[in-house]
Amino acid sequence: MISSIPKEIIEYESEIVDYIRGKTDGVTITDIAKDKEYSRNTVSKYVSLLILKKKIFSRKVGAYQLYFCEEEISFPKIFIIEYYKGILSGLKQKFPDSEDLFKEIGRICYKHIDLSLGGVISKELKGSRVNRFIKIYNDVFGKFYPSSDVTNPLIDISLKKLDNNKTKTILKFTHSEFLQDTDDFIYHAYIVAGLIEELWKKEVGRKIQCNVESVHISDKTEDSYYELSIEVE
């Protein structure tokens, strides 16, 4: 049966879906228009059609509307989480007191994981204060957090005054998949710290120091937490 849909529509839709599929962190209409060299009106038109057809979906992240492909990896996420936790536990036993090593591993991981914030967001952050970055980081934290679709951590953001009249941002993580009544999985915090440093450096073009400030493990999971600090150099 010959399709009654004009070839032009099929080609536009196919190219836009393929583009979004390759950008797992989401893209804006501006990103699509720029990279595909389409007009914004054209992209908006076909994005709306693709949403109606349930081929893509949108999500509000900070000030931006990001678009994602509806296709999902069929591999069970719970299995991936438990596998990752098993690796963390094994590494903690084999390499005790190696926190700096796993922060460096976090930096290396950035090279192999697509954590791009997108061109529009990255551009805005280049001249922004650290709190603006933290706001967006909080919105898109699932990119760094393997269990975000199962158990979202709670993140409390505060500022701490330093002796040199500077401030650093403190992120306090509670209700985390990796904060139980054991510290077997705590290297996750150091990997995340390394990821944040590398993300800021590569995406925003500014260096920061992201360190694990404290770790508190309690018999009650809800009372366990770890804190990351962020300082702009």
- For the stretch 65-121, pLDDT in tens is 888 887 654 445 667 778 889 999 999 999 999 999 999 999 998 887 755 555 555
Q: Where are the alpha helices (DSSP H) in the chain?
A: 7-21, 29-36, 40-52, 77-94, 99-110, 119-125, 130-139, 187-199
End-to-end CA distance of the chain: 63
Going along the chain from its start, the domains and CATH numbers come out as 7-69 (1.10.10.10), 77-232 (3.30.1380.20)
Amino acid 137: pLDDT: 54
Q: Are 168 and 180 in contact (CB under 8 A)?
A: no
What stretches in the chain show pLDDT beneath 50?
Answer: 1-4, 73-75, 140-144, 146-151
